[in-house]
């Protein structure tokens, strides 16, 4: 049986501190090396976005890249690089503290120059005042004399109240302007101290400081936009590199949510904050499948040609169904649990893989199959694309019609042998697919070896193992 601790850790591989990309199943070390060369050329500061969809391994990649940058090489000081998980800091609301928390571990505490630079930064931070209350609320308070809306009685009282409110308003304006100027000065002092602190670290190490920002697209829209704004306006300084690991589509959705309009051009807004955008390299699905099966200990129990066939089929199904790496991993795990407990001849690939995909991502259709409610034509429309992309086309046709015929027999067991759940009608015509002699021949051939397969057992297995994930 596959151990539970392995089920959730295949894609999120732990980085080897001595050789961070040693366990990378996707061969992304050259990409990290190329990006390192890019950021080394930007001494003026940079915001780099790595865009990739959910489940493509962004977090694993930036962890490995961070560890690669942190390696100590002979005669060199490693980069100061840290990861900021924006989603974990969202609760504290203020992105300034989240960014500053990443700098805490940089350079040894006993370094006097480092301590001096840090103290200046802390002192400047203390000058920044909290946000003021809204002007509307202040005006309401002024004109109701702080009584929450109680009206003054009589004309004299009304005139006096108006004069007092007017004088108070002028005093408020003077105070507000003075406070605003002071706050601007405080922010400028902070930016100067922050820039000096970053430059000090860069001079000591010989490298720019790098802060990786992960999970930004998972945060609530208000926090996501606030962090982007702070990066742009407060933390933009030479020798500081921000690397944003994002799903741009999701982040743009957050931006539209923040502004409350689907009409806003979110991508253009996002470009205000990003200097360079790159995409995580495409991962070969078959190679990834092979790596997952090997780490799960499944490939060692199967013949090499069977592993190759399994990876090819899962790879092709993943393309037609547009599955992410995380989704592919889930299908591999579900199939692997079946192969660990069932012989191949009772749970073959042509049954386990389509059922695993449906169970994981189209459970409503899986349940229709389980309850014998889906028609043969509807099932054909769902299943046929999964057998369409591998190199063994004739074998795919056999596998497709094996699946369909087994469903037909499964329905017939307890009298569900209805017209829309048959492949061939009473006149000998094929109900679904191409009505040609070659397909009829395939169906007749397929019927010869259906007895050794158990469609019901396959359904039960996929249902059970999915609940164990």
Give Cβ neighbours of residue 413 (< 8 Å, ≥ 6 apart).
Answer: 456
For 25-72, how does the pLDDT look when each residue is reduced to its tens digit (9 = 90+)?
788 999 999 999 999 888 788 999 999 988 888 999 999 999 999 887
pLDDT in the model for residue 124: 65
pLDDT in the model for residue 132: 33
Residue 464: C-alpha distances to residues 135, 313, 335, 427 (Å)? 59, 23, 12, 39
The residue behind tokens 């992105």 is 95
Computed over every residue of the chain, the mean pLDDT equals: 77
pLDDT at 382 over 70: yes
List the chain domain ranges.
Answer: 4-134+183-279, 285-468
* 354 closest CA partner among 393, 397, 400: 400
pLDDT in the model for residue 134: 34
Classified as helix, coil or strand, 455 is: helix
pLDDT in the model for residue 266: 92
pLDDT in the model for residue 93: 75
pLDDT at 229 over 70: yes
pLDDT in the model for residue 412: 79
pLDDT class of 272 with cuts at 50, 70, 90: very high
- This prediction has a pTM of 0.71
pLDDT in the model for residue 419: 58
C-beta atoms surrounding 325 within 10 Å = 25
pLDDT at 280 over 60: yes
Q: Among 70-74, 89-93, 412-416, which stretch is predicted with the lowest mean pLDDT?
A: 412-416
CA–CA separation, 339 vs 1, rounded Å? 10
pLDDT in the model for residue 90: 87
For 127-185, how does the pLDDT look when each residue is reduced to its tens digit (9 = 90+)?
654 433 333 333 223 333 344 333 334 334 444 544 455 555 555 556 666 666 777 77
Summarize the confidence of residues 3-24 as an average pLDDT. 65
Supply the DSSP string of 272-306, one letter for each residue. Answer: TT-SEEEEPPPPPHHHHHHHHHHHTT-GGGS-HHH
Q: Among 88-92, 125-129, 144-148, 309-313, which stretch is predicted with the lowest mean pLDDT?
A: 144-148
pLDDT in the model for residue 231: 93
**345-361 burial by CB neighbour count: b if 16+ within 10 A, else e?**
eebbbbbbbbbbbbbbe
Which of the residue ranges 86-100, 107-121, 247-261, 400-414 has the most confident prediction, judged by mean pLDDT? Answer: 247-261
pLDDT class of 225 with cuts at 50, 70, 90: very high
Contacts within 8 Å (CB) and 24+ apart, 427-434: 431/376, 431/377, 432/376, 432/377, 432/380, 432/404, 433/380, 433/384, 433/401
pLDDT at 367 over 90: yes
Give yes or no for a contact between 383 and 354, defined as CB atoms under 8 angstroms apart: yes
For 238-258, how does the pLDDT look when each residue is reduced to its tens digit (9 = 90+)?
999 999 999 999 999 999 999
Give Cβ neighbours of residue 336 (< 8 Å, ≥ 6 apart).
Answer: 2, 293, 296, 298
Which tokens hold the place of 149?
């809306």
Which tokens hold the place of 403?
């699946």
Which has more pLDDT, 155 or 319? 319
For 338-355, how does the pLDDT look when each residue is reduced to its tens digit (9 = 90+)?
777 776 566 788 888 899
Running DSSP on this structure, what letter comes out for residue 213?
E
Residue 225, class by beta-carbon neighbours within 10 Å (0-12 exposed, 13-18 middle, 19+ buried)?
buried
pLDDT in the model for residue 233: 87
Which tokens hold the place of 27?
């061969």
pLDDT in the model for residue 234: 85
Tell me which architecture the domain covering 4-134+183-279 has in CATH: 3-Layer(aba) Sandwich (3.40)
pLDDT class of 363 with cuts at 50, 70, 90: very high
pLDDT at 366 over 90: yes
């Amino acid at each position: 049986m596959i151990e539970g601790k392995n089920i959730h850790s295949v894609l999120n591989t732990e980085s080897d501190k001595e050789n961070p990309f040693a366990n990378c199943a996707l061969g992304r070390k050259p990409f990290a090396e190329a990006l390192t060369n890019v950021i080394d050329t930007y001494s003026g500061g940079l915001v780099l976005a790595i865009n990739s969809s959910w489940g493509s391994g962004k977090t694993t990649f930036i962890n490995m890249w961070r560890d690669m940058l942190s390696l100590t090489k002979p005669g060199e000081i490693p980069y100061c690089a840290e990861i900021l998980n924006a989603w974990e800091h969202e609760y504290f609301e203020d992105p300034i503290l989240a960014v500053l928390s990443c700098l805490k571990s940089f350079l040894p505490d006993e370094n006097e120059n480092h301590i001096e630079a840090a103290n200046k930064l802390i002192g400047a931070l203390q000058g920044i005042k909290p946000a003021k209350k809204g002007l509307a609320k202040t005006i309401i308070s002024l004109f109701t004399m702080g009584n929450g809306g109680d009206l003054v009685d009589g004309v004299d009282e009304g005139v006096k109240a108006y004069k007092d409110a007017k004088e108070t308003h002028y005093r408020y304006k003077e105070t507000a302007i003075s406070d605003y100027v002071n706050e601007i000065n405080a922010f400028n002092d902070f930016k100067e101290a922050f820039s000096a602190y970053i430059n000090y670290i860069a001079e000591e190490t010989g490298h720019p400081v790098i802060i990786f920002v992960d999970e930004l697209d998972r945060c609530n829209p208000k926090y996501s936009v606030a962090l982007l704004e702070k990066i742009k306006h407060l933390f933009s300084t030479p020798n500081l590199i921000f690397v944003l690991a994002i799903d741009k589509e999701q982040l743009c959705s957050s931006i539209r949510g923040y502004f409350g309009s689907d009409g806003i051009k979110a991508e253009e807004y996002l470009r205000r904050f990003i200097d360079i955008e790159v995409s995580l390299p495409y991962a070969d699905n078959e190679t990834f499948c092979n790596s997952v099966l090997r780490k799960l200990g499944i490939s060692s129990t199967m013949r090499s040609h069977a592993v190759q066939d399994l990876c090819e089929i899962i790879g092709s199904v993943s393309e037609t169904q547009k599955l992410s790496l995380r989704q592919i991993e889930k299908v591999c795990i579900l199939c692997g649990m079946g192969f660990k407990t069932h012989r191949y001849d009772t749970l073959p690939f042509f049954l386990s893989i389509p059922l695993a995909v449906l169970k994981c991502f189209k459970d409503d259709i899986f349940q229709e199959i389980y309850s014998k409610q889906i028609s043969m034509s509807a099932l054909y429309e769902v299943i046929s694309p999964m057998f369409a992309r591998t190199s063994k086309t004739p074998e795919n046709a056999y596998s497709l019609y094996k699946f369909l015929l087994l469903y037909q027999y499964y329905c017939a067991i307890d009298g569900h042998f209805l017209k829309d759940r048959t492949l061939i009608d009473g006149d000998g015509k094929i109900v679904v697919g191409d009505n040609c002699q070659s397909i009829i021949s395939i169906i007749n051939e397929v019927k010869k070896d259906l007895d050794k397969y158990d469609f019901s057992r396959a359904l039960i297995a996929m249902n059970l193992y999915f609940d164990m994930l």
